[in-house]
Amino acid sequence: MRNAKACRRWGVLGVAVAVLAAGPAYAQLINVTMRLNTATNRDTLRPNHVVQLRGEVVSGQVVPAPTWDANTGIVLHNTGGDYWEVTFKMAPGSQLKYKFWTGFNQTTGTFFWNGWEGPIRPADPVNSGGNRYFIAGQRDTVVALQFYNGSETEREQYWRPWQVKADSFVVYFRVNMAALMETREFNPDKDQVVVRGGRPLDPTNTWDVNFPLTREIGSADGGAMFSGAAYIHKDSVKGGEWQNYKFVVLRNGSEFWESRPNRYFRYSGPVDTTLNWVYFNDQKPTGGNVVEATVTWQVKTDGLEKLGVFSRTVGDRVVLDGARAWDINNPIVLNYVPLLKLWVAQETFIKAPGAQLEYKYVLLWDDSRANPSSPNYLRGLDLTPPIRYWEEPCVTGSGNRYYTYGSQTQQMVPGDYKFDWHYFNGLPPEGVIETPMDLTFNVDMTPATRQETNPSNPLFRPGLDTVWVQFMGCLMPLTQGDGIYNNKPIMLSDPDGDMIYSATIHLNPPFPFDVGYRVTYSTATGARIQNGGGFTKGRSYWQFIRPVAVHADGTIEWPSEYSLPVVPWKDSNLLVEDPPDLWTPTAVKDQTGSVPPVAFRLEQNYPNPFNPVTTIRYAVAKDSPVRIEVFNLRGERVRTLVDSRMTPGRYAVQWDGRDDHGRQLSSGVFLVKMVAGSFTQVRKVTLVK
């Protein structure tokens, strides 16, 4: 009954509709365009919902005729975000009394007063009973923008939800915090939500300036809406500029940023604008379908220890950031369990099943690691105390890790490589290479020269521009005495003009099997175009040095030279390979029969056709370099299975139907080719799905 009383209070219900017959006096009609902004509607109104003009004709003629119910003839259409518009006809001098009504459909109104807006003081000196009022003039009219009144407070007909300043314009932000309120990760009475962004919102471009938002008391989802205006000087925007921003929660001196990619919009000029409301971090409330659970993480650092870059005895340790919030000052603490030889963390959450926990492990190096006079010094470390290194997991292409929250009260996060635990950076001890190697990079720069594949940057000019790669976040350069992020560029060249730019570097052991990097090229203007970026998989190229063989005794044979498969230049969403299996034997010496083979031979694979794995047996008659490769029917090499010098004997190698990038190949016929000195043999194999 509250809504009905409220409507009667402002003279909306029980008003008779005046129906006037069309006559000669009203034959000349004008067009009236009304525009409404619903950023001040306290519910979760979306552009696909319903906005109506409901009211009555006080005098004259309006076409189509409005009514005070769902059958009104005047319905607004959305023109983008919070903006709605409608054009109808009126006879000059006609008078219209009206209000705006909002709903999720024609009969279900929004949260506040069942869709009706609050009281309005009309611009014209009339007694409107708290309604809006309009008197038609003699010519077509576009009425000034009106804002929906989502409160009980009486508003001027052409009010604004912000203060008008002569030298500034406004960007009005709104965010719904219901999901975080539901999981008790946001206290609306104590915590604060702000907007932060780059230039021009923040002239310093540091993302440090706060634009505070205020709680909309009485708004939907238990008062979960927060809104506020950011004032920007008119001289700082001309039009066409992009604005990046995020919502941030401030609590007890800590900051909790949205983990999603930056939000953005484009300025049309120095004019006021409102942005349609969003959920914080794009998380919707569940309506109470939440589970309180203890989540357990386990991580090993023995790969780092084998590299020589981590030691508990020195004071190095590991924490977890992001699962609760991205706040390194209040991380989830991991404790080392000697019996298990791993780090363990347990944390209680209240989440809906299916929610995503986004996180990374963080290595907290002891300060002595950055001190050149300390025996613990790590040469090349380009981080300063407090030394924090957010892992760049090779298993996620350096993107953030994710765990899908379940319905159990006790939950264990699955590990890497089908183990129960993670490896920091995705680096197992088996992935540490202890023999020297020459590593070659190969980048196809053709896409960088074409507008259709490089629309956002100056095009690469072969023969004029230079191109180089730099390690980005992986530990490879640190093992070579260089910085993790600030390391020497590796200049690429293309002497044969085939657009495959290459370079070879020498690696001293120990070093990891994963290689993360980005590509940069110069331009005529002097600008440098580096690809990649962001926080998700594909922010950098991520490739792997693949072993020659994984033997049955667990030893791994690595090549002395390795050429990374060619990667195509891309501006973003860079290629990420799947890591190799370092635990399943791939090249097994056949122990059946003690007599060495008298001839080289490549046997037919078994099974054939196969899915998902087939075994390929071969014989080596004398000490010789052996290479076994897989080609598609176009003659393109898709996988190298063996590339090593081998002693006489009978061997077997498995192929899992994947290419050198670790990607699963489609069904089809492939050719397996063995070369050993002057010996060559080819077998046809069939992969089926």
| Residue range 151-185, pLDDT digits in tens | 999 999 999 999 999 999 999 999 999 999 999 89
Query: What totals of helices (H) and strands (E) does the chain contain, helices first?
Result: 5, 52
Give the residue from 669, 663, 662 showing the smallest Cα distance to 683: 669
Helix (H, G, I), strand (E, B) or coil at 173: strand
pLDDT at 109 over 60: yes
Q: What is the DSSP letter of 394?
A: G
CA distance 663 to 610: 17
Q: What's the Cα-to-Cα distance from 25 to each of 135, 388, 648, rounded to whole Å?
A: 16, 79, 109
Residues 671/624, Cβ–Cβ less than 8 Å: no
* Tokens representing residue 301 in the block: 């650092």
User: What is the band of 92 on the pLDDT scale with cuts at 50, 70, 90?
Assistant: very high
End-to-end alpha carbon distance in the chain: 63
Q: What is the mean pLDDT of residues 460-489?
A: 95
Q: Which CATH superfamily is domain 168-282 in?
A: Immunoglobulins (2.60.40.10)
Residue 382: what pLDDT?
81
Residue 535: what pLDDT?
81
Residues 646/565, Cβ–Cβ less than 8 Å: no
Q: What's the Cα-to-Cα distance from 539 to each of 396, 451, 484, 517, 668, rounded to whole Å?
A: 10, 22, 15, 9, 32
User: What is the band of 464 on the pLDDT scale with cuts at 50, 70, 90?
Assistant: very high
pLDDT, mean over the chain: 92
φ/ψ (deg, to 5) at 683: -125, 145
Strand arrangement of the beta sheet that strand 587-590 belongs to: 587-590, 649-655, 614-620, 601-602
Q: What is the mean pLDDT of residues 557-583?
A: 93
pLDDT at 20 over 70: no
Task: Tell me the CATH number for domain 2-156.
Answer: 2.60.40.10
Q: What is the DSSP letter of 472?
A: -
- Farthest-apart Cα atoms in the chain, separation: 115
Q: Which residues contact 252 (CB under 8 A, 6 or more apart)?
A: none
The model's pTM is 0.73
Q: Which CATH superfamily is domain 291-427 in?
A: Immunoglobulins (2.60.40.10)
Burial 237-269 (b: 16+ CB within 10 A, else e): beeeeebbbbbbbebeeebbbbbbeebeeebee
Which amino acid is located at 673 in the chain? K
Domains 2-156 and 168-282 share a fold: yes
* Tokens representing residue 675 in the block: 């070369």
Give the residue from 564, 561, 533 showing the smallest Cα distance to 398: 533
How do the domains of the chain map onto residue ranges?
2-156, 168-282, 291-427, 430-568, 587-687
Residue 669: what pLDDT?
92
pLDDT in tens, 181-191: 999 899 999 99
CA distance 578 to 481: 27
Residues 502/492, Cβ–Cβ less than 8 Å: yes
SS3 for 349-386, per residue? EEECCCCEEEEEEEEEECHHHHCCCCCCCCCCCCCCCC
CA distance 423 to 419: 10
Residue 591: what pLDDT?
54
Q: What is the mean pLDDT of residues 195-203?
A: 95
Q: Which residues contact 178 (CB under 8 A, 6 or more apart)?
A: 220, 221, 222, 224, 279, 284, 285
Beta 30-37 vs 146-147: how paired, if at all?
parallel
Measured at the CA of 323, the angle between CA 352 and CA 193, to 5 degrees, comes to 85
pLDDT in tens, 353-399: 998 999 999 999 999 999 999 999 998 888 888 899 999 999 999 99
Question: Of the CATH numbers 3.40.50.620, 2.60.40.4070, 3.10.20.30, 3.40.50.970, which one belongs to the domain with range 587-687?
Answer: 2.60.40.4070
Beta 192-197 vs 211-212: how paired, if at all?
antiparallel
Question: Which element (helix H / strand E) includes 147?
Answer: strand 146-147
Residues 342/401, Cβ–Cβ less than 8 Å: no
* Tokens representing residue 331 in the block: 């991380």
User: What is the band of 149 on the pLDDT scale with cuts at 50, 70, 90?
Assistant: very high
- Give the CA dihedral 180, 182, 188, 190, nearest 10 degrees: -80
Burial environment of residue 167 by CB neighbours within 10 A (0 to 12, 13 to 18, 19 or more): exposed
Give the residue from 605, 607, 649, 592 showing the smallest Cα distance to 626: 649
Q: How many CB atoms lie within 10 A of CB 21?
A: 6
Residues 399/539, Cβ–Cβ less than 8 Å: yes
Q: Tokens 């000052």 map to which residue?
A: 329
User: What is the band of 533 on the pLDDT scale with cuts at 50, 70, 90?
Assistant: confident
Q: What is the DSSP letter of 302?
A: H
* Tokens representing residue 430 in the block: 């088996």
Q: pLDDT exceeding 90 applies to what percent of the chain?
A: 80
Q: Tokens 């971090």 map to which residue?
A: 281
Residue 27: what pLDDT?
56
Give the residue from 14, 21, 78 showing the smallest Cα distance to 46: 78
CA distance 184 to 67: 44
Which amino acid is located at 615 in the chain? T
Residue 587: what pLDDT?
64
pLDDT in tens, 304-339: 999 999 999 999 999 999 998 888 988 999 999 999
Which amino acid is located at 192 in the chain? Q
* Tokens representing residue 208 in the block: 């440090």
CA distance 613 to 622: 28
The CA radius of gyration of the chain, in Å to the nearest whole number, is 33
Question: Which element (helix H / strand E) includes 181?
Answer: helix 178-182
Residue 319: what pLDDT?
98
Domain 430-568 indexed as CATH 2.60.40.10: yes
